[in-house]
């Protein structure tokens, strides 16, 4: 028997009867977001979890509002009002980009149609569109016709997938026990490499981080030494992970030299270009990725430097045949006979089963804007980062670590009188003060909501970090945020450090 509420419940399903309601609901949601975006005068409200958590806890999930508008009103309070807005020119923190509107069209279409990219019978054209984009990206990398790949949820999954393939290849060739497998990356490589090694059942010593040079690039001599050490110790280097755009410094490892060493050692080369992939469409800086075409596998994160909404990433491989290592044929989904009949199934290549049609966002971006326009946006932020480096390096209030070939800036405020840069010594109380002042400045700035910046440590000391991914961020914005940070840091030195005994930055309330 049908329940008395069945009619009401069914009215929420998207179908031919509700299509008009769907259009109105989507329009009202879009209008609210557009309004928020128009009115945002800062990237963040500065709210802290203590203030926001009770609002969210107070929502009774057992008592629905039965109304889109009422739920969106509530959402203003529990989410939209205090969200962190990446489109704002003074959001300078992590690798989050403002998004392009054609990609948002894709997002709206893909979630409503809700294709699942595992099998042809759940996606049809979606599968072919993803394949075209993989082919296009492989072409930009410089891979040959045997290349292939698959969209993933992000760089972490792409790196895991690459290392899974590398492990299978190494075991097929060398037959080594997992405890004898090694992955070499640089000290500036992404932590997802370690996480992947762990998930793949490699031993605790599996990932070896070799030294970087002054510009935080992997040192080929250090890699050569480590390859030799592994060989002599009877260890199998299943992969070398080079990074094209390290998370903190935007540094690009010397890909041609690394490719030569991998070729000599017979090691799989994975290039983590999660951040640097925007160079694939740059007309001025594509050469910075020279050598990437010699990789066995490449991670690209369209949701970092192609101005795509999260998630949108891909793993590309030079020889598509290696993707078989992740394949499993399930009778209910992708039996072998389908492949034999030439029916295209992306699940045969993916770690995921049900999978969003994220590729559609990139498709519409390329069809509306074209690759050159995306590259221009990325080039602009790289230009801005270079100018920001010059600005901060010439400012005696700051110490800057290195000039990024991409778009980060790692720096710290130096309290005057306390920390002459050329007198830095480990254990110097001035250094502890500088650490605390910079930690405080970042927190105080976030609490004000005027700007959001990131932080990291370099050689054990606390630094601040800008990641520029918004072409709308001007040099004046950068100068203004530097002034704000210097103001907060100096206030810490003058007023708070004597109270805090330099030990730790006090908690900041908005």
Ligand X SMILES: Cc1ncc(COP(=O)(O)O)c(C=O)c1O
For residues 277 and 508, which CB has a smaller minimum distance to ligand X in the complex? Answer: 277
Please name every residue paired with 218 in a beta bridge, in sequence order, or none if there are none.
212
Strands in 218-339 per DSSP E: 236-243, 269-273, 297-301, 313-317
Nearest C-alpha neighbor of 301 from the set 290, 283, 313, 289:
313
What gap in Å lies between CA 496 and CA 437, rounded to an integer? 9
Residues 236-265 that bind ligand X (CB under 6 A): 243, 245, 247
Length of the chain equals: 510
Judged by CB under 6 A, which stretch of 114-122, 201-209, 269-277, 368-376 contacts ligand X? 269-277
Does residue 277 interact with ligand X by CB under 6 A? no
User: Closest distance between ligand X and the C-beta of residue 132, in Å?
Assistant: 22
Q: Does 95 bind ligand X (CB under 6 A)?
A: yes
Among 257, 272, 348, 435, binds ligand X (CB under 6 A): 272
- The answer to the question of residue 462 lying near ligand X (CB under 6 A) is no
Site membership for ligand X, residue 467 (CB under 6 A): no
Among 46, 89, 102, 154, binds ligand X (CB under 6 A): 154
Stretch that binds ligand X, among 154-162, 327-335, 346-354, 432-440 (CB under 6 A): 154-162
User: In the numeric block, which tokens belong to residue 376?
Assistant: 């221009």
Residue of 140, 161, 190, 431 interacting with ligand X (CB under 6 A): 190
- Other C-beta atoms closer than 10 Å to the C-beta of 210 total 20
How many residues in the shown chain lie near ligand X by CB under 6 A? 15
* Contact predicate 217/245, CB 8 Å: no
Sole binder of ligand X in the list 313, 352, 438, 467 (CB under 6 A): 313
Rounded least distance, CB 362 to ligand X, Å: 15
Part of the chain binding ligand X (CB under 6 A), chosen from 25-33, 74-82, 153-161, 434-442:
153-161
Taking each helix axis from N to C terminus, what angle separates 68-78 and 49-57, rounded to the nearest 10 degrees? 160
The reply to whether 156 sits near ligand X by the rule CB under 6 A is yes
23 contacts: CB under 8 Å, gap ≥ 6 = none
Q: Does 275 bind ligand X (CB under 6 A)?
A: yes
| Interaction mask 390-419, ligand X, x per CB under 6 A | ------------------------------
CB of 158 to ligand X, least distance (A): 8
How far is CA 224 from its chain centroid? Answer: 29
Provide the strand spans (E) within 348-500. 398-400, 408-413, 452-458, 461-467
- With CA atoms as reference, report the closest residue to 184 among 219, 215, 213: 219
**How far apart are CB 250 and ligand X at their closest, in Å?**
9
Which residues partner with 412 through β-bridges?
Answer: 399
Q: Say which residues have a Cβ less than 8 Å from residue 9's Cβ, sequence separation at least 6.
A: 3
Question: Is 192 among the residues that bind ligand X (CB under 6 A)?
Answer: yes
Distance between CA 115 and CA 193 in Å, rounded? Answer: 31
When CB distances to ligand X are compared, the closest residue is: 155
Residues in contact with ligand X by the rule CB under 6 A: 95, 154-156, 159, 190, 192, 243, 245, 247, 272, 274-275, 301, 313
């Amino acid at each position: 028997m049908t329940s008395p509420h069945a009619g009401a419940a069914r009215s929420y399903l998207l179908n031919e009867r509700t299509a008009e309601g769907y259009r109105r609901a989507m329009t009202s949601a879009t209008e609210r977001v557009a309004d928020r975006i128009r009115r945002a005068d800062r990237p963040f409200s500065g709210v802290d979890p203590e203030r926001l958590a009770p609002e969210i806890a107070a929502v009774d999930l057992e008592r629905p509002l039965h109304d889109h508008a009422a739920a969106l009103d509530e959402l203003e309070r529990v989410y939209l009002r205090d969200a962190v807005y990446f489109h704002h020119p003074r959001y300078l923190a992590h690798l989050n980009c403002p998004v392009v509107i054609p990609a948002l069209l894709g997002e709206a279409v893909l979630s409503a149609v809700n294709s699942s990219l595992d099998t042809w019978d759940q996606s049809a054209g979606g599968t072919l569109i993803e394949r075209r984009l993989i082919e296009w990206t492989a072409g930009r990398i410089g891979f040959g016709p045997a290349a292939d790949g698959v969209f993933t949820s992000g760089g972490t999954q792409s790196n895991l997938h690459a290392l899974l393939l590398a492990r299978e290849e190494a075991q097929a060739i060398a037959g080594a026990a997992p405890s004898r497998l090694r992955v070499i990356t640089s000290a500036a490589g992404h932590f997802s490499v370690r996480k992947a090694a762990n998930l793949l059942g490699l031993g605790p010593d599996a990932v070896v981080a070799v030294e970087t040079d002054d510009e935080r690039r992997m040192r080929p001599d250090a890699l050569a030494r480590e390859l030799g050490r592994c060989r002599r110790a009877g260890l199998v280097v299943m992969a070398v992970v080079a990074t094209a755009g390290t998370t903190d410094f935007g540094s690009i490892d010397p890909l041609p030299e690394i490719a030569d060493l991998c070729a000599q050692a017979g090691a799989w080369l994975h290039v983590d270009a999660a951040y640097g992939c925007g160079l694939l469409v740059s007309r001025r800086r594509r050469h910075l990725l020279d050598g990437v075409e010699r990789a066995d596998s490449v991670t690209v994160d369209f949701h970092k430097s192609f101005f795509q909404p999260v998630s949108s990433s891909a793993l590309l491989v030079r020889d598509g045949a290696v993707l078989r290592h992740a394949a499993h044929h399930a009778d209910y989904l992708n039996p072998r006979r389908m492949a034999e009949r030439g029916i295209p199934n992306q699940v045969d290549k993916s770690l995921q089963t049900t999978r969003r049609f994220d590729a559609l966002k990139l498709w519409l971006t390329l069809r509306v804007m074209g690759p050159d326009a995306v590259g221009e946006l990325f080039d602009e932020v790289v230009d801005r980062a270079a100018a920001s480096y010059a600005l901060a390096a010439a400012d005696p209030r700051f110490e800057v670590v290195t000039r990024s070939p991409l778009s980060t800036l790692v720096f710290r405020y130096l309290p005057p009188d306390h920390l002459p840069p050329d007198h830095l010594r480990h254990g110097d109380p001035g250094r502890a003060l500088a650490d605390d002042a910079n930690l405080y400045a970042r927190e105080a700035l976030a609490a004000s909501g005027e700007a959001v910046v990131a932080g990291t440590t370099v050689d054990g000391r606390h630094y601040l970090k800008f990641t520029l991914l918004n072409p709308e961020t001007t040099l004046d914005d950068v100068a203004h945020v530097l002034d704000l940070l210097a103001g907060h840091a100096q206030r810490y030195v003058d007023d708070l450090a004597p109270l805090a005994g330099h030990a730790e930055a006090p908690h900041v309330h908005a």
